[in-house]
Amino acid sequence: MTGSETTIKAADGGEFMAYLATPASGGGPGIVVIQEIFGVNAVMRGITDRFAEQGYLALCPDLFWRQEPGVQLSDQTEEEWARAFELFNGFDLDKGVEDLGATIEHLRGRGGCSGKVGTVGFCLGGRLAFLTATRTGADCAVGYYGVALKEHTGEEIKCPTLLHVATEDEFVPKEDQAAVHAALDGNPKVKIYDYEGCGHAFARVGGKHYDREAAELANQRTLDFFKTYLG
């Protein structure tokens, strides 16, 4: 596995960076890894590397580039949390989805990619992963503890979608979780797993709510899902 940075052209002009992890084989199906509110930091790069170790060509784009390129925050200080929420509040969701669409097509056309591309996102990225299933050409999508999904359940889901939900998520009220279940449980393209007793970001290694057992279960379900729909 090798890691490097590459440049993607935005649909409306401009360019942004993405971290690329290439499997030892040199190629395979593509996975776009979608950041949390801390940018393309060490955690996201590590996740991207791990997908490459599983044989995927994995790409994590800098979605905060329109505000501040190259953000790499941690979840360890109050100052970094404050900056992360500033970036989150200033984030243009629609432009972010457009940038993900450009990232998907960039990866799909890249040498070594099989042509199939899935997405996986965490927190803000979980919301964006859901929107790649409704607004882009992704072949499949996985969202971990996505926020504000209730706002988007009326959109048509175009590809297989897997959602990991933390039942004690402090950013997603239980009534919102129930609304998402009510809207999507009957959709044959959607599978939702609830992780009882888990808080937001239960799969973030080193995070306050990290739950190793739940994280390993969710991660295995994600790999099985990608194997099914990407090969």
Those residues whose C-beta lies under 8 Å from the C-beta of residue 55, and which sit 6 or more positions away, are 23, 25, 28, 29
What digits encode the pLDDT tens for the residues 75-121? Answer: 999 999 999 999 999 999 999 999 999 999 999 999 999 999 999 99
Distance from C-alpha of 180 to C-alpha of 48, rounded to nearest angstrom: 28
Catalytic residue among 106, 152, 164, 200: 200
Query: Could you confirm whether 200 is annotated as catalytic?
Result: yes
**Environment class of residue 189 by beta-carbon count within 10 Å: exposed (0-12), middle (13-18) or buried (19+)?**
middle
Distance from C-alpha of 119 to C-alpha of 99, rounded to nearest angstrom: 13
Q: Which residues of 17-53 are buried (b: 16+ CB within 10 A; e: fewer)?
A: bbbbbbbeeeebbbbbbbbbbbbbbebbbebbbbbbe
Domain 2-230 classification at class level: alpha beta
Query: Could you confirm whether 106 is annotated as catalytic?
Result: no
Mean pLDDT, residues 184-204 taken together: 97
pLDDT value at position 84?
96
Give me the residue spans of the domains in the chain: 2-230
Query: What confidence tier does 16 reach under pLDDT thresholds 50, 70, 90?
Result: very high
pLDDT value at position 47?
97
Percentage of the chain modeled with pLDDT above 90: 97
pLDDT value at position 187?
98
Contact 29, 113 (CB under 8 A): yes
Mean pLDDT, residues 19-42 taken together: 97
pLDDT value at position 81?
95
Which tokens in the block code for residue 147? 């926020």
Mean pLDDT, residues 192-218 taken together: 96
Catalytic residue among 139, 169, 176, 224: 169
Query: What confidence tier does 2 reach under pLDDT thresholds 50, 70, 90?
Result: confident
Query: What confidence tier does 1 reach under pLDDT thresholds 50, 70, 90?
Result: confident
48, amino acid identity: T
Query: What confidence tier does 62 reach under pLDDT thresholds 50, 70, 90?
Result: very high
pLDDT value at position 29?
98
Mean pLDDT, residues 152-158 taken together: 98
Maximum Cα–Cα distance across the chain: 45
Query: What confidence tier does 53 reach under pLDDT thresholds 50, 70, 90?
Result: very high
Kindly report the average pLDDT of the chain as a whole number.
Answer: 97
